[in-house]
Amino acid sequence: MSVVVGMSGGVDSAVSALLLKELGEHVIGVTLHFSQHSACCDIASTRRAKAQCEHLGIAWHNVDMKDAFDCRVIQPFWEAVAGGATPNPCVLCNERVKWQGLLDAADELHADFIASGHYAGIVHSEDGDQICRGMDRAKDQSYFLYRLSAEQRRRVLFPLAGRVKSDVVALASRWFSSDLLASRESQDLCFVEGPVNEEVCRRLSCVPGDVVLKDGTVIGKHQGTASYTIGQRSGLGISAVSRLYVVEKRHDTNELVVGQRNACMRDVFEAIDLKWQHLPTGKSAYFRAKGSVDRVSEDGVSVHLANSVFAVTPGQAVVFYDDQRILGGGTIV
Confidence of residue 155 (pLDDT cuts 50, 70, 90): very high
Give backbone dihedrals phi and psi of 162, rounded to 5 degrees, phi first: -100, 20
Residues 234, 314: one domain?
no
> Residues 49, 13: contact at Cβ < 8 Å?
yes
Residues 21, 127: one domain?
yes
Q: What is the pLDDT of residue 287?
A: 58
Q: What is the pLDDT of residue 126?
A: 79
**Boundary of a domain, candidates 235, 259, 283:** 259
Confidence of residue 119 (pLDDT cuts 50, 70, 90): very high
Q: What is the CATH number of the domain that holds 297?
A: 2.40.30.10
Residues 13, 110: one domain?
yes
Give backbone dihedrals phi and psi of 186, rounded to 5 degrees, phi first: -65, 150
Q: What is the pLDDT of residue 177?
A: 86
Confidence of residue 248 (pLDDT cuts 50, 70, 90): very high
Provide the strand spans (E) within 235-299: 245-250, 255-259, 265-276, 284-287, 291-297
- The structural domain count of the chain equals 3
Catalytic residue among 93, 132, 206, 264: 93
Is residue 214 domain-resident? yes
Is residue 195 domain-resident? no
Is residue 186 domain-resident? no
Residue 248 structural domain: 207-259
Confidence of residue 262 (pLDDT cuts 50, 70, 90): very high
Q: Which residues contact 132 (CB under 8 A, 6 or more apart)?
A: 120, 121, 122, 123, 142, 324, 325, 326
Active site residue 93: yes
| Rounded mean pLDDT, 125-133 | 88
Residues 254, 274: one domain?
no
Residues 109, 247: one domain?
no
Residues 234, 173: one domain?
no
Is residue 291 domain-resident? yes
| Rounded mean pLDDT, 185-213 | 82
Q: Is it the case that residue 254 has pLDDT exceeding 80? A: yes
Catalytic residue among 40, 90, 132, 190: 190
Q: Is it the case that residue 251 has pLDDT exceeding 80? A: yes
Is residue 200 domain-resident? no
Is the pLDDT higher at 84 or at 145?
A: 145
Residues 55, 12: one domain?
yes
Q: What is the CATH number of the domain that holds 126?
A: 3.40.50.620
Residues 140, 281: one domain?
no
Q: What is the pLDDT of residue 31?
A: 96
Active site residue 71: no
Residues 235, 283: one domain?
no
Q: Is it the case that residue 326 has pLDDT exceeding 60? A: yes
Residues 235, 290: one domain?
no
Residues 253, 270: one domain?
no
Is residue 63 domain-resident? yes
Q: What is the CATH number of the domain that holds 251?
A: 2.30.30.280
| Rounded mean pLDDT, 25-35 | 94
Confidence of residue 264 (pLDDT cuts 50, 70, 90): very high
Q: Where are the alpha helices (DSSP H) in the chain?
A: 11-22, 43-56, 66-69, 75-82, 89-93, 99-108, 150-154, 165-175, 196-204
Is residue 194 domain-resident? no
| Rounded mean pLDDT, 53-70 | 95
Is residue 198 domain-resident? no
**Boundary of a domain, candidates 259, 280, 296:** 259
**Boundary of a domain, candidates 137, 165, 180:** 180
Q: What is the pLDDT of residue 199?
A: 87
Share of the chain above pLDDT 90, in %: 73
Residues 103, 149: one domain?
yes
